[in-house]
Amino acid sequence: LYSPLHQFTAILQMLFIFVTTIYISRISSILTAPRYEKPINTGNDFIKSYLSWGDTDDTWVLDLEESTIPHHKELIKRYKILSKPEFQDRFYSTEFGFPIERLHSGIFAARFFENEYVTEKSIKHYMDMKENLYYDFITIALPKGSPLLKRINTLIQQITESGIYLYWQSDVTRKYLNINIHEVIQQVP
């Protein structure tokens, strides 16, 4: 009644069910799709990620050098100044972050947008953080008792209230930067 062929077929069927069950469970996701990490949305997420970040000069961290905030000290430690070829090589790496400036108008600005290796296709691999890594104000230094102080304060107030600086940011972006790359960045989740 039970021939060796029946036993062999039964063993193959059990083996097939066993392998199929293993594949359908966790191993299928490991073998067929890359693993994804939690997105980096805040400065604390960035610090916990142990990623480095950088650019071709130190302008992004100059304001942080005098800071006593531990978060800022860690950002300075991780900042790397790269040559242009190193920058280009790291642009396609998943282990490195690049600074971009979020302007008041919501537009992103970065010097590397105009490089030939920054394309709409390559920028889609990046995500912008939902929270700013740090925030800085533009300052104007005047001597004490300067007669210009009142006029400058009035001018700054008028510019801010009118919103003309938002128009200027948008206008300069449209004229001088690659608007397609900005649109791609705006659409990145």
C-alpha 24: how far from chain center: 34
Residue 12: the pLDDT is: 94
Give residue 187's pLDDT: 67
Q: Quote the CA–CA distance of 165 and 7 in Å, as a whole number.
A: 81
Q: Identify the top-confidence range among 4-8, 89-93, 148-152.
A: 148-152
Q: What is the mean pLDDT of residues 89-112?
A: 78
Q: What is the b/e burial string over 105-126, where b = at least 16 CB atoms within 10 angstroms of the residue's CB?
A: bebbebebbeeeebeeeebeee
CB 96 within 8 Å of CB 51? yes
Q: pLDDT tens, 62-89?
A: 888 888 888 889 999 999 998 888 888 8
158 band by pLDDT with thresholds 50, 70 and 90? very high
Query: Is the pLDDT confidence value at 90 over 90?
Result: no
Assess contact for 71 and 101: CB atoms under 8 A. no
SS3 state of residue 55: strand
Give the whole-angstrom CA distance, residue 95 versus residue 28: 26
At residue 60, the pLDDT reads 84
Taking alpha carbons only, the member of 139, 142, 176, 181 closest to residue 156 is 139
pTM for the model stands at: 0.65
* Of residues 175 and 150, more confidently modeled: 150
For the stretch 13-43, pLDDT in tens is: 999 998 888 777 776 666 666 666 788 888 8
Kindly report which listed range (9-18, 37-46, 59-68, 98-107) carries the lowest average pLDDT score: 98-107
Count of helix runs (H) and strand runs (E) in the chain: 9, 5
Torsion of CA 172, 174, 177, 181, to 10 degrees: 140
pLDDT tens profile 113-156:
566 667 677 677 777 788 888 877 778 889 999 999 999 999 99
**For 1-5, 112-116, 156-160, 184-188, which range has the lowest pLDDT when averaged over its residues?**
112-116
Query: Which residues lie below 8 Å from residue 39, measured CB to CB, with a gap of 6+?
Result: 45, 127
